Amino acid sequence: MKKSIAILAGDGIGPEVMAQAVKALRGIEQRFGHQFILREAWVGGAAWERYGGHFPLETQSICEGVDAILFGSVGGPISEQTYEKWKDCERNSILRIRQHFGFQVNMRPIRSYPSLKHPLGWMHVDLLCIRELLGDVYFGDHRLDVIDGIRVASDAMVYDEKSITTAAYAAFDAARGRRKKVTSVDKANVLACSRLWREIATEVSMHYPDVHLEHMLVDNCAMQLIRNPSSFDVLLMPNMFGDILTDEASVLAGSLGMLPSASLNSEGLGLYEPSSGSAPDIAGKGIANPIGQILSVAMMLEYSFGMHEEALIVREAVEKCLEVGYRTPDIASLDDRKRAVTTEELGNQMYKIVMNED
C-alpha cells in the first residue's frame, strides 16, 4: 500500500521524538512491503525562523496533499513567550491547522501498563477521551481592554448544536466498540454552554439504547479520574475541559509522554500527535519519551490507513519494551532510574521489535 504523510516535527523535543516514530513507521514499511512517502514541513517556531509565520502556506499546501498528518509539538520557553518567534505560537499553528482542516474530534486513549510502576499504583486503566476541538473559549472572541483605567479581560465560550452533536456521535460510536458507557462532562450548574452540551448528549444517546450515558460535572470528574479511574470507559468532553482533564489523566499511564492522540475531520483526514508538548527545558538532552509519538503512528495506521495488524504490532512493541525494562527518565521509578535509556535507544529497540529482530 502506498500512502503519503506530512511530517511536522515542530519545536523543542518534537524533532527528537518524531525521529523515533519515523523509525517505527519505516519498520512497518519494510516488514509489510508498504510505501510511505514522507513529506517534511515546518510548523511553530521552526517555521517562523524560515518563513516568518507559524503555519506558512508552504506547510499548508503539503498538508492538503497527503493522506495523513503526523505532528510533533510547538512552542518555546515560558520566559520567551513575548518574543515574536513564540508569541501566539500555538494559536497560530496547531489551532489554525485544526480550524483549517476541520479537525473537530480528538481521540486520546489512556491506558496503564502492568510493567510500569508509578506513585498511584493503578493496575488496569483503559479509557478513551473524546474532546471536541473547534468550539469553546479557544475560538471565541478574546478581548483585553482598559475601562475607566482598569484592565479588563474577557474570553467568550461559544458552542453550537452541530459541533456538540458531532462529538457526541463520535463518543457513542466508540463506546459501542468498547464497554458501552459514555460519561459526558460539563458544568451545567453554571454555564449555558454546558446546559446545551448536556441536552445534546442526552438527545444523541437516544439513538444508542445499548450504551449507558451518565452526566458528570467537571470538578467531580477531576476527582473521580484519580479516585476511581476504572469506572470510566469513554469520556465526552468540551474543548477546554478535555484539554485539562486529559493532561490530568496522563498520570494514570505514568507520564504525559505516554499519550497519543488522533484528530479527525468529516472527510477522513487525520492529524496524529503526542500529548506531551514541546518541553523546551529537556530538548536536546536525549531524555524525551517518544512513546506517545510512536503510539500516534499506531493510531494513524489504524484510523487513516486501515492497517489494523500493523497498528497492533507497534502497540505490542511498546509493551514489550516496557516489559523488559526500557525506560526514559520520566517513567523510570527511583529503583529503575539507573536503567533509564535515551530517546534514541528506546526508539532503536522498538524498531527491532517492529522488524521482528528481537
Q: Are 99 and 139 in contact (CB under 8 A)?
A: yes
Q: If you average pLDDT over every residue of the chain, what do you get?
A: 93
Query: To 10 degrees, what angle do helices 343-354 and 308-323 make?
Result: 130
Domain with 68 in it: 1-106+258-358
Write out pLDDT tens, residues 292-305. Answer: 999 999 999 999 99
**Which one of 243, 336, 352, 358 is the catalytic residue?**
243
Write out pLDDT tens, residues 43-88. Answer: 999 999 999 999 999 999 999 999 999 999 999 998 999 899 999 9
| Statement to judge: residues 315 and 301 lie in one domain | yes
Residue 112 lies in a domain: no
Domain boundary among 253, 268, 299: 253
26/28 Cα distance (integer angstroms): 5
pLDDT at 174 over 80: yes
Residue 97 lies in a domain: yes
Q: Lowest-pLDDT range, 39-43, 111-115, 241-245? A: 111-115
Write out pLDDT tens, residues 105-133. Answer: 999 999 988 888 765 666 688 999 999 99
Residue 113 lies in a domain: no
Section 271-287 average pLDDT? 93
Q: What per-residue confidence (pLDDT) applies to 140?
A: 84
Residue 29 lies in a domain: yes
Domain boundary among 231, 253, 275: 253
**Which one of 126, 247, 336, 358 is the catalytic residue?**
247
Q: Say if residue 19 is exposed, middle or buried (CB neighbours under 10 Å; 0-12, 13-18, 19+).
A: middle
Active site residue 3: no
Active site residue 320: no
Section 337-341 average pLDDT? 73
Q: Which helix (H) or strand (E) holds 18?
A: helix 14-32
Q: What per-residue confidence (pLDDT) applies to 358?
A: 63
Section 161-177 average pLDDT? 97
**Which one of 113, 138, 159, 326 is the catalytic residue?**
138
Active site residue 187: yes
pLDDT band at 276 (very low <50, low <70, confident <90, very high): confident
Q: What per-residue confidence (pLDDT) applies to 337?
A: 58
CATH number of the domain to which 200 belongs? 3.40.718.10
DSSP 8-class letter at 284: T
Q: What per-residue confidence (pLDDT) applies to 138?
A: 84
Domain boundary among 218, 253, 288: 253
Active site residue 180: no
| Statement to judge: residues 90 and 200 lie in one domain | no
**Which one of 85, 87, 181, 187 is the catalytic residue?**
187
Q: What per-residue confidence (pLDDT) applies to 252?
A: 87
Active site residue 233: no
Write out pLDDT tens, residues 199-209. Answer: 999 999 999 99
Domain count, the chain: 2
Section 1-11 average pLDDT? 96
